[in-house]
Amino acid sequence: MSNPEATEYEVGQDNIQPFGLDIHNPVFLISGLSIIGFVLMTLAFQAEATAFFGWLRPFLTSKFDWFFLLSANIFVLFGILLVVTPLGSVRLGGAEAQPEYSYLGWFAMLFAAGMGIGLMFFGVSEPMSHYASSMGGTAMENGVRTDWAPLGAAAGDIVAARNLGMAATIFHWALHPWAIYAVVALALAFFAYNHNLPLTLRSAFYPLFGDAVWGWTGHIIDTLAVFATLFGLATSLGFGTEQALAGLNFLFGTPTGNGARVVLITVITAAALISVLRGLDGGVKVLSEINIALALLLMVFIIFVGPTAAIFETIVSGGIAYVKEVVPLSNPFGREDANFSQGWTAFYWAWWISWSPFVGMFIARVSRGRTVREFITCVIFVPTIVSVVWMGAFGGTAIDQVIADPDAAVQSAALELKLFEMLGTLPLSWFTSFLGIILVIVFFVTSSDSGSLVIDTITAGGKTDAPVSQRVFWCTFEGLVAAALLLVGGAGALTALQAMAVSTGFPFTIVLLLMCFSLFIGLNKARKDPAQTKK
């Protein structure tokens, strides 16, 4: 339970309750109307929107790559600081608070909300992309290497290419992205559970802005969080939809056009609605545990049925390569590897940051009772280990297939098909491919459900017990927006969504840096209070 003596901030609320809803009026109206306007403008001016968003993403990642890389490094170092200093002894919710979920249930929800679809989509495609890049060795453009110069050329060296490819992949799925999530989640949980503030983004800035967080300063912060969550979910839905449809076409020859996309999104949204109606424990928690169990089953199957020795070698050597190369890969200044630092890393960091309000708030919602040290260790370092094993199993198997046969189908397959082409060479390929489709779909159901929970919490002013009908509204709205854009806008709409996800990441990088400072102030005060440190 929270400590009443720790309550030191005045909470201002101006919720209204039309039609049985419970909304924080400015945030709800501004975010809702703005997103509707964005959709209408995108559909009305498709050519212009495609050109604008096609310019926006590369502009941000090329001009501000150093800023994204430097900021992500700060988040990692800040997380390490919390683990090794007395600040880590503060318990979320006060000294007497106990965790609401077991480690198994907690980890399952972390992964399902944080990276589920991404690991399925990029588990094969990204290691192969970096492997091919490192094998090229000296790719040049205007006199500058377009692969990743800090790791050194590996032209013709298959082992080095594999290890460097795995290091680059793990870099994008390990410490840095989870540190981004951890900063947001910890700040939200600390100020909500230790100071009885609303579970919403604005609360994390009270030490810096004071009562202004209950006015327009806070409204802007929360509205940006709604934008980031919706666009991040829609972008993820695009990846998940394309991979699921590709898998269904691979197995059954089903269509992959706009009609099929809308049907699949409708099915996913309906499943998410059922999960919403069942609540957090009966919905997201149950689906997350089932999905994580199935994902681990698929990974174990690949490890022991695939090229087992090569997979274990890839896991070990790739992990070692990551440890050796994480510093040069993280260097934000003086880089010549434009394709890697801008096309990959800056885009990834902006995307993770745009997702951080959604994932961070959901993690905070299920992390009461953990100490700061336990929280950071579990949220940053445990997923890093799992990512190394996952990428080594999936990516290592695909790379081994290409080493054995340079003309292997997985080599030339589209990104959304690479997983199924890799599984197609293993025993029980039909079953494992179908399981892969189910995993992608259920991962998105849990993301959609938890995403609607987060948006609902923000637009209700931080309340965690807002009416279920409000979560149903947001869950339905997410599906309708994605379906309308995919149906009318096609590939251009997905480009717009991805660009918007990145563009929301840029201002949120500044928000997160300020959040670190605010969180440090709060934790430094709390560590001196026996009522807030672990017992």
What is the DSSP secondary structure assignment for residue 141, as one 8-state letter?
A: E
Answer yes or no: is pLDDT of 154 > 60: no
For residue range 318-329, what is the model confidence (pLDDT) as tens digits? 999 999 989 989
Tokens of 111: 């992964």
**Amino acid 156: pLDDT:** 62
CA angle 332, 338, 341 (to 5 degrees): 45
- Whether residue 65 contacts residue 341, with contact meaning beta carbons closer than 8 Å, is answered with yes
Q: Give yes or no for a contact between 117 and 236, defined as CB atoms under 8 angstroms apart.
A: yes
Q: Is residue 134 very low, low, confident or very high in pLDDT (cuts 50, 70, 90)?
A: low
Is the pLDDT assigned to residue 110 strictly greater than 80?
A: no
Tell me how far CA of residue 300 lies from CA of 118, 292, 296, 312, 403, in angstroms. 19, 12, 6, 12, 22
Q: Taking phi first (over 0 means left), then psi (-120 to 50 degrees means alpha), and beta for anything else, what does residue 215 get?
A: beta
| Residue tagged 């060795």 (tokens) | 137
Residues 6 or more apart in contact with residue 56 via CB below 8 angstroms:
499, 502, 503
Q: Domains of the chain by range and CATH?
A: 4-135+151-526 (1.20.1740)
Residue 436: is its pLDDT beyond 70?
A: yes
CA-to-CA dists, residue 358 to 119, 323, 365, angstroms: 18, 29, 11
Q: Are 421 and 151 in contact (CB under 8 A)?
A: no
Nearest residue to 96 via CA among 437, 512, 529, 492: 529
pLDDT tens digits, one per residue of 333-353: 877 777 788 888 988 898 888
Q: For 493-516, what is each residue's pLDDT tens digit?
A: 556 667 777 888 888 899 999 999
295 Cα distance to chain centroid = 17
